[in-house]
Every structure is written in C-alpha cells, then in structure tokens.
Amino acid sequence: MLAYPIELADDDGTVLVTSPDFPELNTFGEDRAEGIARAVDALEEAIAARIHGRQDIPTPSGGQIHAELPTLTAVKVLLHQSMRAQGVGKAEFARRLGWHMPQVDRVLDINHHSRLDQMDAALRACGCRLTVEVTHVA
C-alpha cells in the first residue's frame, strides 16, 4: 500500500539505511536484505513518533529501493494524514465516532493491532472509505 524510498550505503562492512522522506531514520543491516527488513521497523518507529507528536507524515516520494509498510500501518498513516488535512484533532475525532479518548489513541497507535471494522469506522468519520484490492505477485 505505502512504500517509502530508502537509500542503502556501505558502512565499513554493514549496510547503512536512510530515507529521504524521514531524515530521522537511520538503521543498518549486515547485508542488503537485512537492511531493507530493518527499514520497515525503523519506518514504523519514525511514523509512530510523528503521529504522537502530531506532525505531518509525507506521501512517499520516488526512489529506486522502497520499504513497504504493513497494511495496518499504512491504513493508520492514511487516517492520520486525513485527520491532519481536515484539521481534525483527537477530541473532535472522538466526538464524531462516539468513542472515548483511549479508543482514539489505540486506533492511531502503530503498535496496537486495531480491528479492520474500527479502521473502517475511523476513516468514514473523516469522510474516507477504505477499499481493498488484491494484486497477484510473481
């Protein structure tokens, strides 16, 4: 769903991983495959920090190599982006949904395994609709 560009560089026998979209992201791997795998975790941490700090999360830019976010994380990013675009804070969001603040916090928490029906309701509260598509890969 969402794949952010990453850059890989040799760093004295390990692979240094950075992202042009998240200057705060720095991780490493023993090789290219491990670097890319660790990039996903590092992206999730950077995103979680931005959501917590009520900061913007960029739309992925172009690049040669990408780290793809897990589906639930991507949906939470899209929800956060929608709320920010509409100027909807957590209190207003809770009011729209009839939820308590801890429920709102959990639906925006990258580390919480929210249910799909909760994510669907949250997106609808922002005037969005979650659509699903399956793409076959080789």
| Whether residue 114 sits in one domain with residue 58 | no
- Classify the phi-psi angles of 127: left when phi > 0, otherwise alpha if psi is within -120 to 50, otherwise beta: left
What values do phi and psi take at 34, rounded to 5? -70, -35
| Whether residue 28 sits in one domain with residue 46 | yes
pLDDT in tens, 8-29: 999 889 999 999 999 999 999 9
pLDDT in tens, 76-135: 999 999 999 999 999 999 999 999 999 999 999 999 999 999 999 999 999 999 998 898
pLDDT in tens, 42-54: 999 999 999 999 9
- As for how many domains the chain has, the answer is 2
Domain range enclosing 60? 3-68
**Bridge partners, 7 (sequence order):** 18
Average pLDDT of every residue of the chain: 95
